[in-house]
Amino acid sequence: MATIKISSKVEETAWNELRDLARESKRSVSELLSDAVEEYLARRQVRADPVRHLDDSIRENEELGKLLAQ
């Protein structure tokens, strides 16, 4: 997979912990960050589907919702 170089800012404490973790796990900081980004995106995708389905259901059943609210 192709990679790109990025630049960002993080709290110094978090950076130090990440660097220590990379050393302890014998992995690079870049590997840990790539894994973290992939995990974050996967979690967001899983959450997006149920929310989208809920929104669709609410829209499709708007009249029923109004009747139940009375």
- Count of Cβ atoms closer than 10 Å to residue 29 Cβ: 13
Domain for residue 21, yes or no? no
Domain count, the chain: 1
Please list, in sequence order, all residues whose beta carbon lies within 8 angstroms of the beta carbon of residue 37, skipping any fewer than 6 positions away.
none
Per-residue pLDDT band for 27 (boundaries 50, 70, 90) equals very high
Domain for residue 24, yes or no? no
What is the sign of the dihedral through the CA atoms of 36, 37, 38 and 43? positive
Q: What is the mean pLDDT of the chain?
A: 90
pTM of the model: 0.61
Domain for residue 60, yes or no? yes
Domain for residue 68, yes or no? yes
Helices (H), 1-70: 12-25, 29-60, 62-69
What type of residue is 10? V
Range of the domain at 38: 30-70
Q: What pLDDT is attached to residue 8?
A: 92
Domain for residue 14, yes or no? no
Quote the radius of gyration of the chain (alpha carbons, Å): 21
Domain for residue 20, yes or no? no
Q: For residue 22, is pLDDT > 90?
A: yes
